[in-house]
Structure 1
Amino acid sequence: MTEEIKQSEPSDGQTDKGNGQPRASSGSTLQSKNIRIHKHRTSVRLEPEMWSALNEIAALEGCSIHDLCGAVHDLKGPGASFTAALRVFMMEYYRTAARSNPHVQQVQKLAKVPLKSDRDKKKLTGV
């Protein structure tokens, strides 16, 4: 059960907090989206690929993106950045999944043994 989350307007043209001056466009690809963490609404800025990964993980785990973000929020250390905690969670989630993948295990074995010949390189790369 996944939920679509509402995307905020792009940050280009917004003003910096405090001084009211227009924020310079940094060419950033970060997208702001509103999520709920235990009934509190907050805005999170992540790359589109990170949003895609977060939605995919929520679907795989059978929960809403809001519930997933709430769980990550509850586990992060005091004073830690919530956005950083989300990125670390996603990296660890996929790292754990990769460790159980036979193809990844084969690549890891080959990476530990120096390639002796072009034939070995072809096995690894398929070229």
Structure 2
Amino acid sequence: MPKIQVGASKAKSATKATTTKPAKQAKEVKEKREPSAYNIFIKTEMATWRQANPGKKVTEAMKELGAMWRDHPSNPNRGKAPRSKSKAVSAKEKENALPGVLPDSDDTVPSSDD
């Protein structure tokens, strides 16, 4: 026969009453910002691309549209060199970096065979 806990329900209700959460505050409603030139370009060109290429993947569309965007007149970065995908190193970091220590060509490294 299971044991009956006496007073357990009273203890839970007493602790629950003391640890109630404060009422949630209403979140601020932020205004949506206007779509960028790139967003507008993709929205208009994606519709035409899908009509011309039915059944193709969206990844293919984005590759082609990205290449089209690179030379599009509404692109503010048109004509600039693309950024490198590796982590950019600032000029200060380059100055503070320790020079690499490379062995000279006439220095010989002793081998373990000697």
TM-score band w.r.t. shorter chain: under 0.3
Structure richer in strand, relative to its length: 1
Larger radius of gyration: 2
Structure richer in helix, relative to its length: 1
- TM-score, normalised by the number of residues in structure 2: 0.26
